[in-house]
Amino acid sequence: MGVDNPIIVALDMPTAESAVHLAKEVAPHVGAFKIGLGLLHGPGPGTIDALVRLGLPVFADAKLNDIPSQVEMAARNLAHHGARWVTAHIGGGQAMLEAAVSGLADGAGHAEAGILGVSVLTSLDKHDLQRIGIDRTPGQLVSKMASVAAASGCEGVVCSPLELHVVRQSAPSMITVVPGIRPSAMDDDQARTATPAQAIEKGATYLVVGRPITAADDPAAAAAAISEIVAASTPQG
């Protein structure tokens, strides 16, 4: 995979304090932290600063989607807080994605930072797409979106494990960040999921794991167990 630990833990906690506390618990067993809209629009992007101080990359799942100038400004500001990755909806178009890439690079300076294009949310399936007037399967839509993200200078694509193969075909140079990772079946709001071993086998670069770790009785032990599964599933050499 080219990464030491591909597990990104989704810190979908109610407060910045609880997110940082959990991050400290699981840090030895994961490769990066992710914060989403709940923390970014609640405690605010200062949460990124607190997590960066723990020594692992921080993924700001901001899902930017606005006119290019606003997205550029937002990406720049998130980079100032130390975000290693920031998400932007591919559906916002190539000009918007290019603005996000430019703003993030400007804000990061010499630090490594990249935009991840959000394709089709893992909470959606074919029938959900049809209800909003999109007469394509998730795979067909992700394939086209991955090409747009690559042309815009994005570092990678966020996609479900079920669409990893089409991303490899459409944009082979892009990293793939895969949410909806479940060690076993769970009754939640994700429609297109996979186990860690399945996602690794399909070629995922990073795996986003939330509730299987954060809702566990012992988050550190849960993270360690998933890390062991990933290590055993990762091709050597």
Number of compact structural domains in the chain: 1
Domain enclosing residue 119, as ranges: 7-233
Is position 125 within any domain? yes
Structure tokens at 18: 């609880």
Residues contacting residue 101 through CB under 8 Å, at least 6 positions apart: 75, 114, 115, 152, 153, 154
Quick check: is 144 catalytic? no
Determine the residue type at 125.
Answer: D
> Nearest Cα to 165, choosing from 202, 140, 137?
202
pLDDT at 192: 54
CB atoms within 10 A of CB 131: 9
2: pLDDT strictly greater than 60: no
* Helix/strand/coil (H/E/C) assignment for every residue in 52-96: HCCCCCEEEEEEECCCHHHHHHHHHHHHHCCCCEEEEEHHHCHHH
For the stretch 175-187, pLDDT in tens is 999 998 887 644 4
* End-to-end CA separation in angstroms for the chain: 10
DSSP letter for 219, please.
H
Residue 69 lies in a domain: yes
The answer to whether position 170 is within a domain reads yes
pTM as predicted? 0.92
| Site of tokens 């990406």 | 75
Mean pLDDT in residue range 145-171: 95
Q: What CATH code is carried by the domain that includes residue 138? A: 3.20.20.70
pLDDT of residue 97 exceeding 50: yes
Whether residue 206 contacts residue 234, with contact meaning beta carbons closer than 8 Å, is answered with no
Tell whether the torsion through CA atoms of 144, 148, 153 and 156 is positive or negative: negative
> Could you read off the pLDDT of 107-126 as tens digits, one per residue?
999 999 999 999 988 788 88
Establish if 1 belongs to a structural domain: no
Q: Is residue 2 part of a domain?
A: no
Choosing from 63, 126, 144, 202, which is the catalytic residue?
A: 63
**55 lies in some domain:** yes
Instruction: Identify whether 141 is part of a domain.
Output: yes
